[in-house]
Homo-oligomer: A and B are copies of this chain.
Amino acid sequence: MEFTINQIAGMLKGEVRGNGGEKINMLAKIQDAKKGQIAFLSNPKYEQYIYTTLASAVIVKRDFQARKEITTALILVDDPYISFTLLLEEYHKVISFQKTGIEEPSFIGANVSVGNNIYRGAFSYIGNHVRIGDNVKIYPHVFVGDNVTIGNNTILHPNVKLYADTKIGNNCVIHSGTVIGSDGFGFAPQEDGTYKTIPQLGNVIVEDDVAIGANTVIDCATLFGDSTVVRQGVKLDNLIQVAHNVEIGKNTVIAAQTGISGSSKVGENNMIGGQVGIAGHLVIANNTGIGAQAGIGKSIKDEGQRIIGSPAFDVKEYFKAYAMFKRLPDINERLRELEKKIMQLEMTERQEVEGEE
C-alpha cells in the first residue's frame, strides 16, 4: 500500500490540513506511529500524543481544536474510528491480494484452467483438470487435488490441502493446515473383530463467502455423488472436525475444536461454542446457540434455543442445576439430618401411641 494523504482523504471523504502530498505506507497507533504512517485520534485521553506523534498524518474529528502546535498533517472526518476501520479493511484487502504471479518451483497438472491475477506460491501443487477463478491466491505448499474447482477471490493460505473433486466457492479464505475432502471415518465391523474400510467416494462443497481457520478437517461424503456441504457465509474456527455427509447451514459460526459427527445437519445462523461435540445423524434447528463444551446427543427441533451441558439442555436450567451440583455434599448432609430427625419423630410417635395404649 502506498497512497498520498490527499488520496486517503478522498477515500474517507475527509478534509486535509497540512501537507497532503506526503506518502503513507502503513497504519499505526498514535502513540507508536512513525514517519510514513497514519494514525487516528478518537478518545480524548489520547489527545496528548497528537502533539508529539511522528505519524505523517492523523485522522481527527471535524471539530477538533488543537491546543498546541501540531506538526503532523490532519485528515478531518465525521468519525475518526470508523474512518480508521475502513482504512484497516482496505489495507487488509490490499495485503491479502497483493501477492501475484507464479513462484518457482511450483507444479501444475494437465487441463488446468486459471483465471486472471492469480498467485501460485513456490511448492504449491495443482493436479489435473482443476479450474481456478480470478484473483485466487494459492500460497506455498498448498495441495489442490484433481478435478477441484475454486471460485473467484478465494485465498488458500500456506499448506491448505484440497483432496480431489472438492469444490470451493467465491470469496473464501482458508487458513494453513486445513484439510478438505479426506476420507470419512467409515469401517464395517467383521465377524473376526477386524474392520473393512468403506470406500469414501463423495466430495466436499464449500459455498461462497466461507472462512475456515487453521488445521481444521472436513471429510468427504461417503457415497459417490453425495457431498459434505458448508453453506454460504459459514465461519469455522481452528481445529474443527466436520465428518462425512455433514451439512452446515448458512451463516452459522462455529468456534475452535468443535466436532460434528457423520451425517448431522446443522441449521442456519447457529452460534456454536468451542469444544462442542455433536453426535451423528442429528438435525439442529436454525438459530440455535450451543455453549462451549456442550455434548449434543439428540436433534434440536425448536428454533432459537440456547443450550449447554453434556448432554445439553437449556442454558439457564443447566446453570441452576450446576449450582445445586456444587452443593450436593451439603444436600446429602441435609438429607441425612432429616432422616435422623424423622427416625426420632417416628420413635416418639410410637412411644406416644404405645403410651396411650
Seen from chain A, the residues whose Cβ lies within 8 Å of a Cβ on chain B are 27-29, 32, 88-89, 91-93, 103, 105, 107, 121-123, 125, 139-141, 143, 145, 157-159, 161, 163, 173, 175-177, 179, 182-183, 185, 187, 193-195, 197, 199-201, 209, 211, 213-215, 217, 219, 223-225, 233, 235, 237-239, 241, 243, 250-251, 253, 255-257, 259, 261, 268-269, 274-275, 277, 279, 292-293, 295, 310-311, 313, 317, 320-322, 324-329, 331-332, 334-335, 338-339, 341-342, 345-346, 348-349, 352-353
Contact = CB atoms under 8 A, between A and B. Distances in A.
B292 A313 contact: no
Contacts of A183: 173, 175, 211, 213
19 contacts: A29-B223, A89-B199, A91-B201, A107-B122, A107-B123, A122-B125, A141-B159, A145-B158, A161-B176, A176-B179, A177-B177, A185-B235, A185-B256, A214-B217, A217-B238, A219-B238, A277-B292, A279-B292, A325-B325
Given A121-B125, A224-B27, A324-B328, A197 B211 contact: yes
A357 to B, nearest CB: 13
A32 B226 CA distance: 11
B195 A235 contact: yes
Across the A-B interface, the 7 shortest Cβ-Cβ residue pairs: A92-B199, A324-B328, A179-B214, A107-B122, A143-B158, A182-B214, A241-B256
A353 B345 CA distance: 12
Contacts of A92: 199-201
A231 to B, nearest CB: 12
Of residues A177, A209, A213, A342, which shows the largest number of chain B Cβ atoms within 10 Å of its Cβ?
A: A177
